[in-house]
Structure 1
Amino acid sequence: MTDTFVETYPAETPPYTVGAAASLFSSYVVTSAISASHQIGLLDLLHAEGGTDVATAAGGRLDHGVVRGLLDTLVWAKVVQPDGDRYTVGPGFADVYAARGYFYWLVKGCGELFSIAPDVAVPEQRVGDFYHRDMRAVAIGSRLIGDSEVEPLFDEIVTGLDFAVIADLGCGSGQRLIRIAERDPSVSAVGVDIARGSVELAEKSVADAGLEGRVHIVQGDVLALEPTEIFADVEVVTCVFMGHDFWPMQRCVDGLANLRRAFPNVKRLLLCDVVRTPGPASPETTTIFTIGFELIHALMGVYIPSRREWLEAFEAAGWDLVRERHVAAPPSGILFELVPSAPRSA
């Protein structure tokens, strides 16, 4: 038997397969895994127990291979770490768990739109319903994002106001109104949202809380609301994370002015939104959410105003600014507290 000599050549590794580009690729996969892990309850399980094995995490309803794949992906980012047959929380878990709403908003809520960015960049294709977002996921993600800072701030302000009926524009999951109604049995509430998915989620949440008689959910365009019996006694109106949908300027002014007509007895408007950030983005200075929020709205054709532009719109629409509170979560968020302007003398 003749020995065959096989000459081998070491493969030259392209520089992009490791390092910065490779990390960007893997980070995208991890981001998707975090969103999925939140939705299937894996993050909550890890948060409660400090660790899990695949069989426990999968239970009787999830594929073991997928669960293991998600956990192994989270290992890459040190969100979890392998410990024999188990996976325990890693050094990055606490931050990721606290920020899970951002990841869910990004991937589940907006992932489809990001994937068609090249298509919607073509003006001729930006007509009609040219994009889709999972508004139920957007509502859930937004609620988690606001829970740490915005909602406690709302509770502080609302507790100090005297009112019997409150309305929430872009009510999403309805949790804000449910919390207010549960805290004060004398208060009634109405939530308004244009997205059917959000309305259905809010209706279910209200029913689960046993508040169907006091919290009403209405599907409608907050920019074109008409005075109705259900709005007649509203004294406080809240609007969280959807004020940018009012823009551009004239549309915003008209929409804000119309709120005074739709809610003839309103005494206070609490509007919280993320404002446009100045300057270029950079890894050293750009906070979580910022570039995702601004890019997704560019893809939708929605203008993000600056703080100064908001102030100009309030004045033009007949609202006086009482206070403004800046929040860090979400980054660049501002809560504006407004009252109807006094009638101007002729």
Structure 2
Amino acid sequence: MTDTSFIPRPAVAPSYTVGAAASLFSSYVVASAISASHQLGLLDLLHTEGGTDVATAAGDRLDHGVVRGLLDTLVWAKVVEVDGDRYAVGPGFADVYAARGYFYWLVKGCGELFSIAPDVAAPGQRVDDFYHRDMRAVAIGSRLIGDSEVEPLFDEIIGGLDFTTIADLGCGSGQRLIRIAERDPGVTAVGVDIARGAVDLAEKSVADAGLDGRVRIVQGDVLALRPEEVFADVEVVTCVFMGHDFWPMQRCVDGLANLRRAFPNAKRLLLCDVVRTPGAASPETTTIFTLGFELIHDLMGVYIPSREEWLEAFDAAGWELVRERHVAAPPSGILFELVPSASRSA
């Protein structure tokens, strides 16, 4: 007689091993692979050549197994297709390549903070420098995010202004000032950033562009700038993707008012930022960047204001809104063009 108690039975997989939960898990891995592939130059190689094999992509500097793993992960997401040993761009590649800055900002720039979210959730844990972000990666990601709409819009507005000196607050990689200085040899510029990593990156970018004598990078807190010789002749001030660091309201009003003192000859303030989105998020309506942008700032304890709150702060700080431009990339982005209010003294 056969003892059936030991006959193996097929395992019944838990429901989460496939389907929605499994896709969420794999999507996290894909986001990490996109970020890494951007930094390693794999996305640029695929964009330029249309395809590659592991040996070509890895060259002499990268581990072939890692490169294959990254490309196979992108195959799962239909970003890349594979035929034998050759990987080619897939149906999702164009969108992912266009959005690579968002993924790099998310994973390389902010990944560490997302990973310690439980450790910074209690107010008692949110003291001193309680979190870290890779600000060099944040600067690079932000530049790529702004390249499609924000920077062309800045070029359009700045091209219509008459000025010789411009300042960029939260200058990040410094590319905006480099582009402006290269376009107009008569312009000098100063970039300000509080993060040492961003300052180092901007200084290298300026040096590489041969603009050391015309573009100066200063490390400093934008909210606490004092009148200095380097700021005295600035006529246009720009501030992109860091205005939310001014908040909450009274801090923002004080900071905006202080800009009028630090830049006494400023005739324009061009401030572009992502505003808070109303209502609940949903897969059907929530755009790229929104969840990550809002949650990362919740973790940092940074308030994201609405459009209406910005308008209130401008008025209280003595800046008059000339016009505003809405952009779709990044989603919920607004570029405010402001002038000092004639009815108020700084």
TM-score normalised by length of structure 1 = 0.98
Counterpart for residue 95 of structure 2:
95
- Which amino acid counterpart does residue 116 of structure 1 have in structure 2? I
Counterpart for residue 130 of structure 1:
130
Kindly state the Cα deviation for residue 215 of structure 1 after the two structures are TM-superposed: 0.1
Counterpart for residue 78 of structure 1:
78
- Which amino acid counterpart does residue 265 of structure 1 have in structure 2? N
Counterpart for residue 270 of structure 1:
270
Distance of 1:101 and 1:135 partners within structure 2: 13
Distance of 2:104 and 2:3 partners within structure 1: 57
Q: How does 1:236-315 map to 2 (within 5 A)?
A: 236-315=236-315
Structure 1 residue 140 and structure 2 residue 116: aligned?
no
Counterpart for residue 29 of structure 1:
29
- Which amino acid counterpart does residue 260 of structure 1 have in structure 2? R
Distance of 1:4 and 1:89 partners within structure 2: 55
Q: What CA deviation, in whole Å up to 9, does each residue of 1:10-32 have, x standing for no partner?
A: 10111110000000000000000
Give unpaired runs (5+ residues) of structure 1.
none
Counterpart for residue 156 of structure 2:
156
> Percentage identity across aligned positions?
88
Counterpart for residue 18 of structure 2:
18
User: Is 2:318–2:344's contact at 8 Å kept on the other side of the alignment?
Assistant: no
Kindly state the Cα deviation for residue 343 of structure 1 after the two structures are TM-superposed: 3.0
Kindly state the Cα deviation for residue 84 of structure 1 after the two structures are TM-superposed: 1.6
Counterpart for residue 337 of structure 1:
337
Counterpart for residue 227 of structure 2:
227
Q: What CA deviation, in whole Å up to 9, does each residue of 1:254-302 have, x standing for no partner?
A: 0000000000000000000000000000000000000100000000000
Counterpart for residue 208 of structure 2:
208
Distance of 2:3 and 2:53 partners within structure 1: 48
Kindly state the Cα deviation for residue 196 of structure 1 after the two structures are TM-superposed: 0.2
User: Is 2:139–2:198's contact at 8 Å kept on the other side of the alignment?
Assistant: yes
Q: What CA deviation, in whole Å up to 9, does each residue of 1:191-227 have, x standing for no partner?
A: 0000000000000000000000000000000000000
Distance of 1:344 and 1:78 partners within structure 2: 57
- Which amino acid counterpart does residue 214 of structure 1 have in structure 2? R
Kindly state the Cα deviation for residue 344 of structure 1 after the two structures are TM-superposed: 4.5
Counterpart for residue 181 of structure 1:
181
- Which amino acid counterpart does residue 56 of structure 2 have in structure 1? T
- Which amino acid counterpart does residue 130 of structure 2 have in structure 1? F
User: Is 2:78–2:93's contact at 8 Å kept on the other side of the alignment?
Assistant: yes
Q: Which structure 1 residue ranges, 4+ long, deviate > 6 Å from structure 2?
A: none
SS of alignment partner, residue 293 of structure 2: helix
Kindly state the Cα deviation for residue 232 of structure 1 after the two structures are TM-superposed: 0.2
SS of alignment partner, residue 230 of structure 1: helix
Distance of 2:338 and 2:83 partners within structure 1: 54
Kindly state the Cα deviation for residue 83 of structure 1 after the two structures are TM-superposed: 1.3
SS of alignment partner, residue 70 of structure 1: helix
TM-score normalised by length of structure 2 = 0.98
- Which amino acid counterpart does residue 242 of structure 2 have in structure 1? M
Q: What CA deviation, in whole Å up to 9, does each residue of 1:146-172 have, x standing for no partner?
A: 000000000000000000000000000
Give unpaired runs (5+ residues) of structure 2.
none
SS of alignment partner, residue 322 of structure 1: strand
SS of alignment partner, residue 229 of structure 2: coil
Distance of 2:343 and 2:296 partners within structure 1: 39
Distance of 2:58 and 2:344 partners within structure 1: 64
- Which amino acid counterpart does residue 331 of structure 1 have in structure 2? P
Kindly state the Cα deviation for residue 7 of structure 1 after the two structures are TM-superposed: 1.3
Distance of 2:236 and 2:219 partners within structure 1: 19
How large is the RMSD of aligned CA atoms in angstroms?
1.1
- Which amino acid counterpart does residue 313 of structure 1 have in structure 2? A
Counterpart for residue 192 of structure 2:
192
Counterpart for residue 115 of structure 1:
115
Q: What CA deviation, in whole Å up to 9, does each residue of 1:80-117 have, x standing for no partner?
A: 01112100000000000000000000000000000000
Distance of 1:52 and 1:83 partners within structure 2: 11
Kindly state the Cα deviation for residue 4 of structure 1 after the two structures are TM-superposed: 9.9
User: Number of paired residues?
Assistant: 343
- Which amino acid counterpart does residue 163 of structure 2 have in structure 1? F
Distance of 1:234 and 1:172 partners within structure 2: 19
Kindly state the Cα deviation for residue 333 of structure 1 after the two structures are TM-superposed: 0.1
Distance of 1:110 and 1:94 partners within structure 2: 24
- Which amino acid counterpart does residue 246 of structure 1 have in structure 2? F
User: Is 2:80–2:87's contact at 8 Å kept on the other side of the alignment?
Assistant: yes
Distance of 1:140 and 1:49 partners within structure 2: 23
